[in-house]
Amino acid sequence: MDSLVIDIAILVLAGFVGYAVISKVPNTLHTPLMSGTNAIHGIVVLGGLLLMPEASGWFEKLLLVIAVTFGTINVIGGFLVTDRMLDMFKSKEPPKAEETAEGEDQGSS
């Protein structure tokens, strides 16, 4: 099979995986989720790393260094800030946390 076809197949399947995994997230965790997925698209940093050896001339090198800088900010900042947020959820009520998350739609009444 043409590798382009394979790549597009991966693209489509990954879309469904993302949908399936993420549609289950409770409302309360949407902000950390947004921040966490935000960190994951920092994967673009790989693009900078892949192209760097082929860069010719100072202009391309400069562009790629900026791209790697941007990507690194995205990845490191994103994961750290998500971790900080989630830590606040975790440390509170360890025994109750899970029960609450699952009992949310039953309500309190």
Partner 1 sequence: MSVATIFLQSQNFIDAAYIVAFGLMIYGLSGLTGPRTAVRGNQLAAAGMAIAVIATLLRKGEFHGSGTVWLIIVGAAIGTAIGIPAARRVQMTAMPQMVAIFNGVGGGAVALIALVEYRHHFGGGWALRVEIFELFGAIVGSVSFWGSNIAFGKLQGILPGRPIKLPGQSFINLAMLLIAVASAFVLAAGTHSQALFILGILGAAAVLGNMVVLPIGGADMPVVISLLNAFTGLSAAATGVALSNPVMIVAGMIVGASGTILTNLMAKAMNRSVPAIVAGGFGGEVAAPVGAPGAKGGTVRSTSAADVAIQLSYARQVVIAPGYGMAVAQAQHAVRELEKALEVKFAIHPVAGRMPGHMNVLLAEADVPYDLLREMDDINPEFPRTDVTLVIGANDVTNPAAKNEPGSPIYGMPILEVDQSGSVIVLKRSMASGFAGIDNPLFYDPKTSLLFGDAKASVSGITSEVQAL
Q: Which residue's CB is nearer to partner 1, number 1 or number 11?
A: 11
Interacting residues with partner 1 between 47 and 106 (CB under 8 A): 47-55, 60-61, 63-90, 92-94, 96-102, 104-105
Asked if 18 is part of the footprint of partner 1 (rule: CB under 8 A), the reply reads: yes
CB of 1 to partner 1, least distance (A): 13
Asked if 1 is part of the footprint of partner 1 (rule: CB under 8 A), the reply reads: no
Q: Could you give the C-alpha distances from 56 to 24, 61, 67, in angstroms and in order?
A: 46, 7, 15
